[in-house]
Amino acid sequence: MSWVAGVVHSIIFPGSGAGSQLALSHGPPNGEAQLTIHHRRSLLEHLRDQLAVDWWGHHGIAHWARVRANGLMLARDTGANRHVVELFAFFHDARRINEYDDEDHGARGGTLAKRLKGRYFDATDDEMDLLAYACTHHSDGMTQADPTVLTCWDADRLDLGRVGITPNPKYLGTKAARTEASMAKANQRAEAWCDAFDERRRRQG
Ligand SMILES: [Fe+2]
Ligand SMILES: [Fe+2]
């Protein structure tokens, strides 16, 4: 397993092993249980197989892993629904058709989530509404919304370091994301990936 794959694996599948094969249920309030390891893996395999952009590129699995990590970090302070945060990380860019201007990719990601609900994960109607809204509007630059939605958007924006952009606190909707500690942690994740990404490109010539 490459270094990048190893990092992604440890972010997305922490503590995998016996006892992780729980029910498909979305779990207790606030989505605390999130996806089981088994369903997360199956879902990600499905998303990988239909992805139109580079799985290891700027909007691929490593980005999703960091958005998930950023979102769950912020959720400790914002009280966001962790299940929605995780699903957002996996779906918001899953239907991109290019790495640049792709206006409706968020809405398409939300539609895909609706299609796959019940097959790889379950969620309440409220959770699906939040997920669809968060996916659809994640690149609209908004900073006012439900705390779970804002947490999703900030988790994505905090990963701008991967393309050499320092997130502007003005465009972050939660207080938790605007702290020096959150921004530093997210940048650290993004920069570590940039080094690995450059190295991979160099090796590929
Ligand atoms: Fe996006
Ligand atoms: Fe994104």
Read off the pLDDT band of 16 (50, 70, 90): very low
CA of 92 to the centre of ligand 2 (A): 6
Within 8 A by CB and 6+ apart from 135, the residues are 88, 91, 92, 106, 107, 109, 110, 113
Comparing 140-149, 172-181, 184-193, the range with the smallest average pLDDT is 184-193
Tens of pLDDT, residues 68-79:
999 999 999 999
Q: How far is CA 200 from CA 59, 63, 110, in A?
A: 16, 16, 31
How remote is the CA of residue 199 from the centroid of ligand 1, in Å?
Answer: 24
Q: Which 8-state DSSP code applies to residue 190?
A: H
Kindly identify the ligand whose nearest atom is closest to the C-alpha of 136: 1
The model carries a pTM of 0.86
pLDDT of 50 strictly over 80: yes
Q: How far is the CA of 141 from the centre of ligand 1 (A)?
A: 11
Residue reference for tokens 């299940």: 83
Cα–Cα distance measured from residue 177 to residue 76, given in angstroms and rounded to the nearest whole number: 11
